[in-house]
Structure 1
């Protein structure tokens, strides 16, 4: 997905800065900043995402009942994908409703349904793990997830293995790092910093 990666860099939703790292929500520092909420504002990028996700579904023969957007950033991309494939879509709330039926999933969905999760980004994997556990507590099945970007961190990979959920992404860290070097977005030192961060994000420091 080089076209998507280049496009994301062009519009500023992906920034690579190994020598001046960003601070994440978790408090950890890292060399990548990704705001996929900008993608829906650019029709050519959102079409690339929808088609890319659809190709992943077909290539990997994924089975599911509903395309399911994870709140909040995954909802838009799930909607575009469902429209592209003309398939049912629902969305996952960040937490169950505090009234009524206390729903965690919004849509015409049976509680035994198999949900294909759509996320925008997977970093350390904690938020995706929380969603999967809540869904399973409510009787839903989850075996696969899609993500625009996967940082391929060891922690996230271990969490998903333990949950027995397969993650398929359009852009992964390895591809991103190699392209950043080949396109001279980073120099050799910057590339080495990217690789050292990826090896141990929790203890990484310049």
Structure 2
């Protein structure tokens, strides 16, 4: 399953060229996991592989909208199929402007519960840390962030500094190498 997912990411999520990142920096690598995470086969693979990295005592998985939306859903569904109760939570980028003004959407577990944060791509770790901070402010224990791809650009260090464990299914160099292999040696 891992190799199949790697090939899907290399073929559909990774691009080599010149790209401006959300931070404003330019990079020769671009990773957009949505073509994989929004496909049926991609969701099945991601649900199974990400679930393996979720803490055993986690009551929920959560992530910042939009990149984590399909991930938390896939993992919660895979967990349900395995007979494991696991809620899916979506963390808003800003509080809801009406109604309850909620930051979190989904079936909220009791305060003090462990929540594992899911992320599609970690670069500096800023998006993950925003989600972690909102969850901690809501009274949840967050110890681990699980990402599909670690771009290897400071995210691990930022997580460590925040007292978090970062687990990644793949590193950027693995995805880039697989893309080059699929392209016959050309990235």
If the TM-score is normalised by the length of the shorter chain, which range does it land in? 0.7 to 0.9
Structure 2 residue 59 is the aligned partner of structure 1 residue 39: no
Q: How does 1:127-142 map to 2 (within 5 A)?
A: 127-142=127-142
Please identify the structure whose Cα radius of gyration is greater: 1
Q: How far apart in 2 are the matches of 1:90 and 1:55?
A: 18
Q: How far apart in 2 are the matches of 1:165 and 1:53?
A: 17
Q: How far apart in 2 are the matches of 1:7 and 1:139?
A: 37
Q: How does 1:44-193 map to 2 (within 5 A)?
A: 44-57=41-54, 62-86=56-80, 87-109=86-108, 110-153=110-153, 155-180=154-179, 182-183=181-182
4+ aligned runs moved over 6 Å, structure 1: none
Larger fraction in helix? 1
Give deviations 1:143-171, integer Å, cap 9, x for gaps: 11111111122x22221011111121211
Q: How far apart in 2 are the matches of 1:84 and 1:138?
A: 25
Confirm or deny: 8 A CA contact 1:62 1:144 kept in the other structure.
no
Distance verdict in 2 for CA 1:131–1:35, change over 3 Å = same
What residue in structure 2 maps to residue 26 of structure 1?
23
What residue in structure 2 maps to residue 5 of structure 1?
6
Deviates more, 1:101-110 or 1:23-32: 101-110
Confirm or deny: 8 A CA contact 2:14 2:30 kept in the other structure.
yes
Helix, strand or coil: the match of 1:31?
strand
Helix, strand or coil: the match of 1:90?
strand
Q: Mark the runs of 5 or more structure 1 residues left unpaired by the alignment.
A: 191-206
- Cα RMSD for the two superposed structures: 2.2
- For residue 102 of structure 1, report the CA deviation from its aligned partner: 2.9
- For residue 100 of structure 1, report the CA deviation from its aligned partner: 3.8
Equivalenced residue count is 180
Q: How far apart in 1 are the matches of 2:13 and 2:23?
A: 19
Give the structure-1-normalised TM-score: 0.76
